Homo-oligomer: A and B are copies of this chain.
Amino acid sequence: VSPATDVLSPDRLAHELRAIGTARYHDKHSFHARLHSGRCTRAEVQAWALNRSYYQIRIPMKDAALIARCDDPDLRRIWRSRLEDHDGTTGADGGIARWFALTDALGFDRRDVLAGRGVLPITRFAVDAYVAFVRERTLLEAVASSLTELFAPTIVQHRLESMLRHYDYLDADRLAYFVERPRQAARDADYALGYVQCHARTIEQQKAVMAALTFKCDVLWAMLDALQHAYVEPGRPPPGAWVAAP
């Protein structure tokens, strides 16, 4: 095979990226299956939501870090819609406000959630690694690391339905985040996929794109590993982590 033919076509690149999701996206994790099948205790759902909050709150910081390194006003403007989706335009709208409806329902104080109190260290390490990746790698890799959203719409729709069915302390208002999110994720994923198809022009760049998506899958997987290890019987929450009231 000559070097020239090593370069993947845009369609082939998309196929390879989807294959990474099939193998590595966190819907394959046993904690995910547990959550969606109704086997999680209330404390496990609480722990999942609290730890996921750390991710939710840092996603706009990650997106701003991408904008901060981008000297193309067009890409900055398009990427800014992600900030708007999460932080909203008033204090009461936006993904984080909707996310708080869930943590409220689960009995967490919003100040504790914002401060990340009781979040598992592994959650921090994984999420902080993601923000650092976006800040430090190439812009192409930073964009590519968002491509887990290719796989999000289906899982999120399924999550909404299964959590409504299994956990009677949650209702559609509490899970409003998952109502809004699939449409946003699909739009963002389409854009990011088109971007990497257009800008990854050598096999080295295409491999970097695939590695970035693999890295991001690892981040999401590690977050569920941490929950599984700490909270699923026999739970082993580390010092300082949230524990359910006895």
Contacts and interface: CB of A to CB of B under 8 A. Distances in A.
Name the residue among A73, A94, A114 with the largest chain B CB count within 10 angstroms.
Answer: A73
B72 A114 contact: yes
Name the residue among A58, A70, A80, A96 with the largest chain B CB count within 10 angstroms.
Answer: A80
Contacts of A64: 64-68, 70, 76
Interface in A45-60: 57-58, 60
Interface residues of A, number: 34
Taken together, the copies of this chain in the complex come to: 2
A135 B86 CA distance: 21
Nearest to A70: B61
Nearest to A71: B57
B57 A61 contact: no
Given A68-B135, A83-B67, A74 B91 contact: yes
Interface of A: 57-58, 60-62, 64-74, 76-77, 80, 83-84, 86-91, 94, 96-97, 114, 116, 131, 135
A67 B65 CA distance: 8
Q: Is the interface of A mostly helix, strand, loop or mixed?
A: helix
Given A73-B86, A73-B91, 5 more contacts: A64-B66, A73-B94, A77-B87, A77-B88, A77-B89
Contacts of A69: 61
Contacts of A73: 57, 60, 86-88, 91, 94, 96-97, 114
B61 A68 contact: yes
Contacts of A87: 73, 76-77, 80
A144 to B, nearest CB: 18
28 contacts: A57-B73, A58-B71, A60-B73, A61-B67, A61-B71, A61-B76, A64-B64, A64-B66, A64-B67, A64-B70, A65-B68, A67-B67, A67-B68, A68-B135, A71-B116, A73-B86, A73-B87, A73-B91, A73-B94, A73-B96, A73-B114, A77-B87, A77-B88, A77-B89, A77-B90, A77-B91, A80-B84, A80-B87
